[in-house]
Amino acid sequence: MEGVDHLAHERQKAQFDVEEMKVVWAGSRHALELSDRISRLVASDPAFRKDNRTVLSRKELFKNTLRKAAYAWKRIIELRLTEEEAARLRFYVDEPAFTDLHWGMFVPAIKGQGTDEQQQKWLTLAYKMQIIGCYAQTELGHGSNVQGLETTATFDPKADEFIINSPTLTSSKWWPGGLGKIATHGVIYARLITDGQDHGVHGFIVQLRSLEDHMPLPGITIGDIGMKFGNGAYNTMDNGVLRFDNVRIPRDQMLMRVSQVTREGKYVMSNVPRQLVYGTMVYVRQTIVVDASCALSRAVTIATRYSAVRRQFGSQDGGPETQVIDYKTQQNRLFPLLASAYAFRFVGEWLKWLYTDVTQRLQANDFSTLPEAHACTAGLKSLTTSITADAIEECRKLCGGHGYLCSSGLPELIAVYVPACTYEGDNVVLLLQVARYLMKAVSQLPSGKKPVGTTAYMGRVEYLMQCRSDVQRAEDWLKPNVVLQAFEARAARMSVACAQKLAQFSNSEEGFAELSPILVEASLAHCQLIVVSKFIEKLQQDIPGKGVKEQLEALCSVYALHLLHKHSGDFLSTGTITAKQASLANDQLLSLYSKVRPNAVALVDAFNYTDHYLGSILGRYDGNVYPKLYEEAWKDPLNEYVVPDGFHEYISPMLKQQLRNARL
């Protein structure tokens, strides 16, 4: 059965050019070529094997991760990979490690908040991995509320030093990846105190371990916080705990791009605008949205291919049973997730543009779009990670019992992915931040201040408050302007309704707390509108390739109409559409599934994932699932012996009714 493509019949049904769709997914021909080359490089190297991760002990697992990280760095140097190629290599190695935080948080923090001199000193070392950094912000007692952090950095003018201290148990740094066992340095966030005055939270570069013997430096207590959810998964990462007992660092190790402390102990702001710090946040959240599209597309690839392989019921006269993917119930659960993967990809692409735009504006001292960019990235981080986490679990269920096996790749993918709902901002807290921005936007409408960017639709609020959808037939829902108007009207009406309710409270903060559940719903409606509108905008571009645009149009409609169906209560209660129109939208959605069905396997092939990266027997490219599942079962350590360890001590006495003699 080796070498046979069991999904060839599915691939032959495709009504579009898969190679061209790969380019659309990758973002450009250059990006596709690079990803393809690097992913194959990783997949063909036995040193990056990962199929045994879930059976390793924590110590073995962690040591193996260190080996892979060191080997990856060796290959990056040997092959003289560019920064872009090196980042792809780490992505395809597909194992959470200290390097993620070194490159993804430590380096950007110094780039964003360090002076030119500080960057010159520290980044030179970091780029060569002569120091390994982490990002220590979260504490045992505070996560989302950064202003509540308790670690202190008190300036001592006599010694020209800061004294870093953990005054309480809850001020212990808790969670930073790479901190537990590997990081030599950290960007530590602490309350800056000069002459008894608290200036709020600032960043400091602190050496944590000796560069000679890797022992913690005096005054530093440091370790790993313990096992986390799942087998393998995020347990490859040394999330750490850190306490400071009056540790002294030189004054020039405070990150001083935005503010600084002089030799005399005076706190001064530099001429660099404080808002620059937000640029880094926009960047990090943009990468999280792109990561969501990757994780979701991975789960959807596994579920789609396996749904095409698996047959159950429906045999006619002894013929083959029905492919699971042909059941409408399976399509109704799976195809909206496939559409969401593409939707998140395109909104992630747009966020890359937004980050560039915001950065250029900040450099020109134009802060006008910053609040909107901040709200928009916060909302999209929340929306995409929540949906993706739920979707991976749904894909596991779509694979039936076999989806529960570690060899399906889905349990580990879930366990690795779910923390994204919490890190870089708790998803509900982020939606409440979006709500504050929306309420402010609504309150400023009467003054004639024009809403910008993703809130521009609010400028037409009078029209959106009274417009009615003119849908009369199911196919009317295929018109982008019809869909867009429905989503805009629903979002505007929900925001306005919240603002009106809020106005009835004499204390706006009390009102905000009381109304927070409906404020979150209004934020969600706004964020869903952004994703739908960016998908529609993508389709207005020139997209080459036979049938490629048509498939994307079908997926865009599936994405929007599934949301409309799922949240029909919002659309109906705001009077945006009628019950009849909601019913027509669902009719159209069901007929779209028939259009997606022959292309489903080809649409996931366009993600261009190697079997190594997918790490799933159910999601194998060739569909040769059952022989490989059988083969894999025998590799489990339990099957090394026919009679298990412990049988003679415990089970044999039970069978022979001799338990009183057993050594229990």
CATH code for position 178? 2.40.110.10
Instruction: Note the pLDDT of residue 284.
Output: 86
Taking the C-alpha atoms of residue 312 and residue 108, their distance in angstroms, rounded to an integer, is 51
* Co-location of 289 and 331 in the same domain: yes
Average pLDDT over residues 575-600: 98
Is residue 97 scored above 80 in pLDDT? yes
Domain boundary pick from 219, 237, 272: 272
CA 110 centroid distance within chain = 23
Helix, strand, coil % in the chain, rounded to nearest 5: 60, 10, 30
Q: Identify whether residues 358 and 442 lie together within a single domain.
A: yes
The answer to whether position 227 is within a domain reads yes
- Residue 283's pLDDT is what? 85
Indicate whether 461 belongs to any domain. Answer: no
| Number of Cβ atoms within 10 Å of the Cβ of 436 | 14
Q: Quick one: pLDDT at residue 3?
A: 78
pLDDT (0 to 100) of residue 1:
54
- The two tokens of residue 177 are 């990846």
Domain annotation covers residue 50: no
Tens digit of each residue's pLDDT (9 = 90 or more) over 105-142: 999 999 989 999 999 999 999 999 999 999 999 999 99
pLDDT, one tens digit per residue, over 353-365 is: 998 998 888 888 8
Q: Does residue 234 form part of some domain?
A: yes
Specify whether 348 is located in the same domain as 497.
Answer: yes
Distance separating alpha carbons of residues 377 and 352, to the nearest angstrom = 11
Separation between Cα atoms, residue 135 and residue 188, nearest integer Å = 6
Q: Give the end of a domain, one of 554, 579, 605.
A: 605
The answer, yes or no, to whether residue 2 has pLDDT greater than 70, is no
Shared domain for 301 and 239, answered yes or no, is: no
Q: What is the mean pLDDT of residues 325-342?
A: 98
Judgement on whether residues 432 and 295 belong to the same structural domain of the protein: yes
pLDDT of residue 277: 74
Count of structural domains, the chain: 2
Give the range of the structural domain holding residue 347, as residue numbers without chain letter: 278-452+470-605
pLDDT, tens only, 279-299? 778 888 999 999 999 999 999
Q: Are residues 222 and 321 both part of a single domain?
A: no
In whole angstroms, give the CA distance from residue 152 to residue 163.
Answer: 8
Question: What is the rounded distance in angstroms from the CA atom of residue 539 to the CA atom of residue 131?
Answer: 45
Which among 372, 424, 488, 553 is annotated as catalytic? 424
Q: Tell me the per-residue pLDDT of 370-389, one tens digit each, with 9 for 90 and over.
A: 888 899 999 999 999 999 99
Q: How remote is the C-alpha of 633 from its chain's centroid?
A: 31
Query: Residue 18 domain-assigned?
Result: no
- For the chain, the straight-line distance linking the first and the last C-alpha, in angstroms and rounded, comes to 48
Q: Are residues 169 and 296 in the same domain?
A: no
Question: What pLDDT, on a 0 to 100 scale, did the predictor assign at position 316?
Answer: 82
Residue 622 phi, psi (nearest 5): -85, -5
In terms of domains, do 546 and 569 share one?
Answer: yes
Contact 35, 88 (CB under 8 A): yes
- In the three-class reduction of DSSP (H, G, I as helix; E, B as strand; rest coil), residue 259 is classed as strand
Q: Which backbone phi and psi does 217 adopt, to 5 degrees?
A: -75, 160
Where do we find the tokens 């096996």? Answer: 405
Amino acid identity at 645: D
Same domain, 368 and 391: yes
Would you call 424 a catalytic residue per the annotation? yes
Q: Give the mean model confidence (pLDDT) for residues 390-408.
A: 97
Mean pLDDT throughout 423-439?
95
Name residues whose C-beta falls within 8 Å of residue 208's C-beta, 6 or more positions apart in sequence: 179, 183, 184, 185, 186, 216, 217, 220, 222, 242
- Rounded mean pLDDT, 640-656: 94
Is 80 exceeded by the pLDDT of residue 217? yes
Domain-embedded: residue 571: yes
Core vs surface per residue 548-585: b (16+ CB within 10 A) or e:
bbebbbbbbbbbbbbbbbebbebbeebebbeeebbebb
Q: Does residue 56 form part of some domain?
A: no
- The amino acid sitting at 520 is V
Question: With 60 as the cut, is the pLDDT of residue 604 above it?
Answer: yes
Task: Please give the C-alpha separations between residue 532 and each of 102, 436, 518, 576, 608, in angstroms, as whole numbers.
Answer: 34, 22, 21, 16, 24
237 and 323 part of one domain? no
Report angle CA 418, 419, 425 to the nearest 5 degrees: 125
From the centroid of its chain, how far is CA 39? Answer: 20
Which residue did the predictor score with more confidence, 499 or 2?
Answer: 499
- Residue 74 counted as domain residue: no
Residues 292 and 206 in one domain: no
Mean of pLDDT over the chain: 95
Question: Does one domain contain both 228 and 350?
Answer: no
Residue 386: give its domain's CATH number.
1.20.140.10
What is the secondary structure of 259-306 as a DSSP string?
Answer: EEE-TT--EEE-SS-TTHHHHHHHHHHHHHHHHHHHHHHHHHHHHHHH
Q: Provide the pLDDT for residue 282.
A: 84
Choose one of 252, 272, 292: the last residue of a domain. Answer: 272
The pTM for the full model equals 0.95
The residue behind tokens 């201290």 is 165
- Tens digits of residue pLDDT in 610-645: 999 999 999 999 999 999 999 999 999 999 999 999
Integer Cα distance of 582 and 474 in angstroms: 9
Phi and psi, residue 515, nearest 5°: -95, 5
